Structure 1
């Protein structure tokens, strides 16, 4: 795997939100190819990287070779940050960075099954555990497939696509990405590309995105990570989250606004925890930061990216307050 396989989106904006990180402990919850981690290490930070995907180990080894004293890596999901830090003898950190979703590195590996542009096994798992995308399209009933495509992909023709999938699998099961992409394309009228924001998109885009989110429980992972982050950040610590999907951004926006005391608690798009007595965050980005036109033109993945960041206050969470009694 090439060191250039992944370009970190909104990197300058993330670094600006974090401020001076020299000598501070930063958690990179989505290590990937190490783009954010390297930038942080170059600025003098101590970094602990997390990634559920063990196949990033060549990148981990390269970073560890260059920064043996200030870099550690844990093969865990970012929702498991608290346990991972505890294993390393750490209980708190000064910043947490999360880049949500699949990386271009994973998309470029046909054998991972994330891309409808490269033929490969219909997998989509970020780790080797759990059900694959093939399991979902071959085993789930039509209503459940339609629900997944509508909920996670916001695909307006989810029922038509689900029906087409179920008809085809009666002849033979789905095993490869291009096979599924072709069925979706035909279900949507055979159009190779459809109009999208800024550029035409393949008709299978939303469906593949939905299956990937479902396979990896990405929204559940994000909610758990947000809740965990507020218990790990020291006062003044910064949480920076880059999302690529409207549902992800909505979860982060609602969560941070609630924790900053800007909206009532109880949103269905934020983890349900006991209400804090005082705001837990101060918003650094009252509105989402998006990629510049130049970055979006150079890196198509950046077109939908949004950064939201907030600074932890001194107020304890209800869990922390209870533990101090």
Structure 2
């Protein structure tokens, strides 16, 4: 049975992504984070259906949703349920050595946040899961209940940017174990933060902790870095890689990876990250923290 899901993901910075990504109408492009297929459809439409897209998503449920949404352009797309870290395996299976562009739209998808039972959101009470790959044996509940207090504090500090309260939150979590649901975790965070701190934050006070756990469960930063470092080898000369990030850790990881390849294999096209227009943020508030960086194969 499909999960209950009543929303639709709205792709971010589509115009900007296509501006940097598309170098030829008859090109082959890899959408590393297919999601519900918004960027893939935009690529096909912008190239008058002359291009082809290889779409990857580690989340089998999201991939199935995209497959239904992209049925009318299925001749132009090939979809694979695989982590984008393994894009090279997919290309090898297709007999493709190089492509014209890679697109990474990082972070968590609307489906993962809003579909019933995925456990990514602090807004609904569900079992703590947060796995993008449902075959992953480690859930957020495992991290919360099995990691030492010191390890939890480190994760919150490094991945959640909880510079002042990481130890207090970790201590509160440890005291309340076992924690099995999102609301139980929210209460542990609430009790650790002074009221003035909870009210001072622009975003929900649990955002940083949930982000940190999600990154740990899915090993996100290491996957981003490893993928970006091997992408240049698979780009045609003049081919491009475009990455859209949603928080400072992702953006920093992309920036550092591009720098490692600068002047050797890549020319950086964005000296500073591109941000969404005011009109896009107004129409789609989820775009407010997005940043785009792009580079070209030398």
Instruction: Place the TM-score, normalised by the shorter chain, in its bin.
Output: over 0.9
How many residue pairs match? The answer is 290
Structure 2: gaps spanning 5 or more residues: none
Unaligned runs of 5+ in 1: 262-278, 314-325
Per-residue deviation, 1:3 = 9.0
**Corresponding residue for 2:37?**
34
Rounded to whole Å, the distance in 2 between the matches of 1:192 and 1:106 is: 28
Check the 8 A contact 2:23/2:239 in 1, yes or no.
no
Q: Given that residues 57 and 63 in structure 2 are in contact (C-alpha distance below 8 angstroms), is that contact kept between their aligned partners in structure 1?
A: no
What corresponds to 2:15 in structure 1? 12
Alignment of 1:223 onto 2:225? yes
Residues 200-242 of structure 1 deviation map (CA, whole Å, 9 limit, x = unaligned): 2111000000000000000011011102211111111010000
Do the aligned partners of residues 24 and 194 (structure 1) sit closer, same or farther apart at CA in structure 2, a change above 3 Å counting? farther
Q: Contact 1:53–1:126 (CA<8 Å) still a contact in 2?
A: yes
Instruction: Verify: 1:184 aligned to 2:192, yes or no.
Output: no
Counterpart in 1 of 2:138?
A: 131
Which residue of structure 1 aligns with residue 265 of structure 2? 280
**Alignment deviations for residues 96-131 of structure 1 (CA, whole Å, 9 cap, x no partner):** 000111112211124110000111110000012131
Q: Alignment partner for residue 292 of structure 1, among 257, 273, 277?
A: 277
2:16 and 2:200 mapped to 1: Cα distance?
A: 29
Distance change (3 Å), C-alpha of 1:195 and 1:231: farther
User: What residue is the counterpart of 1:140 in the other structure?
Assistant: 147
Tell me if the contact between 2:229 and 2:261 (Cα under 8 Å) persists in the aligned partners: no
Aligned pairs for 1:50-199 within 5 A: 50-128=56-134, 129-156=136-163, 157-169=165-177, 173-190=178-195, 193-196=198-201
What value does the CA root-mean-square deviation take over the aligned residues? 1.7
Aligned to 2:74, what secondary structure does the other structure show?
coil
TM-score (normalised: structure 2): 0.92
Give the whole-Å Cα distance in 2 for the aligned partners of 1:230 and 1:3: 38
